[in-house]
Structure 1
Amino acid sequence: MFKNLVENPEISENNEQQDSTVELTLFISKFKTTIWLLGIPTWIYGIVDQSLDTFADGYLSSLEFFHLLTTVLFFLSWLYLKPDIKDQQSQLNLCPMQSNKFALKKRHMISQEYILPFPYLCQIYHLLNLKHLETVHNFSLNNLKILNISHFQPTNIGGIIKFQTILDSPANPLRIWRKPIVEVDLILHTPYTIELSIPVYNKKRIIVIFQAFPLTDKEHQLFIDIYSDLNWPKPLLQILLHFASCLTLFEDLPYLRNLADTNIERLFKLSKFSNNASTLLFKRFVELYGTSGNTAKLIEGNH
């Protein structure tokens, strides 16, 4: 989940120094392994070359035998000096937080940043309304449908909702690798941070982190970070994710524009009395942050 992926914004300078130390350790370990691998064909070439020279005249002298034996012993010693991968891993395990951060960097695929001329609350309402996956993103998600809400859990500063989705279109390319029905997680971590966690196949996932920050009462800044542990070529996956992210944002714009023209505060008030399962997480946001006073504080606190 996101709490295991996203770095704490208050990481101290000491932790950054530890990061540098772990990076150096990894570099040295990889360098040792590379040198050892390059040494193997070099030693083999030396043994073959010396053997050909030794037996070229059909006579093996004691000195030539000693030189050949010494070369072979050095080669065997070189094989014995193979870097210990387990020992390298144990060095990383001494710094579990740094190891997690390396895993985070490895799984990070793309980042996008936008300043949008719409109120921050419009973006929050859009991101937390599950029905928008079926309506606003009907084209990009190729008729994805929500079957049911399987789990909802409020937290002190947000909440978690799990819902099952089905690929309704027989032509949906996602059918190639994902199950027909999967459970997706949507998490409100803070009033600014929302996570969408999507299973793909074999317990591999794509995790999208949205961070929306109010700039004024009529515009906000949106950050999109996507993480994945898919074993696909990273450049190819990055291109696909950039395209998908841009496409979904393009779909968002007309809806956000229309939403900005409505009375967003009225939506907040109505949500308090709504029992619609698809807006449970938005209702939780309203309970925690949705009054006019709290909304103003969010904007002030971001500056």
Structure 2
Amino acid sequence: MTHNLCGNPKTTQEKDQPDSNLEFALFISRFKTGIWLLGIPAWIFGITDSSLEVFADSYVSRGEILHLLTTIWFFFSWMYLKPDIKDDQYQGYLCLTPAHKLGLKKRHMISQEYILPFPYLCQIYHLLNLKHLETVHKFSLNNLKIININHFQPTNIGGIIKFQTVLDSPANPLRIWRKPIVEVDLILHTPYTIELSIPVYDNKRIIVIFQAFPLTDKEHQLFIDIYSDLNWPKPLLQILLHFASCLTLLEDLPYLRNLNERNIERLFRLSKFSKNANMLLFKRFVELYGTNGNNTKLMTGNHQKFG
């Protein structure tokens, strides 16, 4: 008998039994998401066409303005109709209390889903290495620097690390509202779930939850959910967060590709001897789940049917 991360027993027979209902549900979910994604460029084209029609001559009619505003309204309505792309089994690995789940749901801003052609361990190494905030994301974070590790606490299935960051660039637009130095939390909830909690201003935060699941030895599925209690117009904040999330993912791809070409298992083994404070949470992952990926074989087997 095996156990999932929330403590519920699962027999070997249940683990190996194919679940056609879940496979069909995931297919329908992906189909809906595909239709939704196809609709985005269609509506953008419609807005562009209507805008050109309005400003094509020196006379702007009420009908043209009404047509443009209607198209924009339908576009934002389409954005709100984004289907739920996460499977219940995946959400079960984020072990939160009902109250915490309810609070997060109210502050939910955006969801993104990707299937990436890189091993799951590459994503884990990237997400848990604090130095990557300064190197891989140097452009998007505008030369953000980590100046101190304030706190590290292991847990039974993960750990939490708190670190201070400073905006090193005088041109960084974040200087408008955030303090020069803030404390950021990075939490390893489970082998699949990592939370990044970023203070903004007046005790307001942006919380990014990454959920990475191995599909095969060479690819994994990545879910990105962003939550916030900022008192900004939600549509505007959603657009900004979608853009920021896509930009950081584009920065990730060359690094993950390069990491995939290296011996990722060797990096896991060497991390046991690392004294770098930036790697403390990654070392905790290795302590709990192995240095060569053998302990993730079970995880891969449990999720291959969702590929």
CA distance in 2, matches of 1:300, 1:287: 21
Q: CA, structure 1 residues 253+9, in 2 after alignment: closer, same or farther (shift >3 Å)?
A: farther
CA distance in 1, matches of 2:204, 2:162: 17
Alignment of 1:1-303 (within 5 A): 101-292=101-292, 293-303=294-304
Deviation of the 1:296 alpha carbon: 1.5
Deviation of the 1:110 alpha carbon: 0.1
- TM-score normalised according to structure 1 size: 0.67
- TM-score normalised according to structure 2 size: 0.66
Deviation of the 1:299 alpha carbon: 1.2
What is the DSSP-based 3-state SS (H/G/I as helix, E as strand, rest coil) of the residue aligned with 1:302? helix
CA distance in 1, matches of 2:175, 2:124: 30
Instruction: Give the structure with higher Rg (CA).
Output: 1
Which segments of 5 or more consecutive residues in structure 2 lack a partner in the other structure? 1-5, 9-96
Sequence identity (%) = 84
Q: Which amino acid counterpart does residue 199 of structure 2 have in structure 1?
A: P
Equivalent position of 1:28 in the other structure: none
Q: CA, structure 1 residues 302+147, in 2 after alignment: closer, same or farther (shift >3 Å)?
A: same
CA distance in 2, matches of 1:197, 1:268: 25
Q: Which amino acid counterpart does residue 170 of structure 1 have in structure 2?
A: P
Deviation of the 1:161 alpha carbon: 0.2
Deviations 1:21-52 (A, max 9, x none): xxxxxxxxxxxxxxxxxxxxxxxxxxxxxxxx
Q: CA, structure 1 residues 9+211, in 2 after alignment: closer, same or farther (shift >3 Å)?
A: farther
Deviation of the 1:126 alpha carbon: 0.2
Deviation of the 1:298 alpha carbon: 2.2
Q: Which amino acid counterpart does residue 133 of structure 1 have in structure 2?
A: L
Q: Which amino acid counterpart does residue 297 of structure 2 have in structure 1?
A: A
What is the DSSP-based 3-state SS (H/G/I as helix, E as strand, rest coil) of the residue aligned with 1:283? helix
What is the DSSP-based 3-state SS (H/G/I as helix, E as strand, rest coil) of the residue aligned with 2:244? helix
Q: Which amino acid counterpart does residue 111 of structure 2 have in structure 1?
A: S
CA distance in 1, matches of 2:137, 2:170: 17
Which segments of 5 or more consecutive residues in structure 1 lack a partner in the other structure? 1-7, 11-96
Q: CA, structure 1 residues 204+259, in 2 after alignment: closer, same or farther (shift >3 Å)?
A: same
Q: CA, structure 1 residues 297+291, in 2 after alignment: closer, same or farther (shift >3 Å)?
A: farther
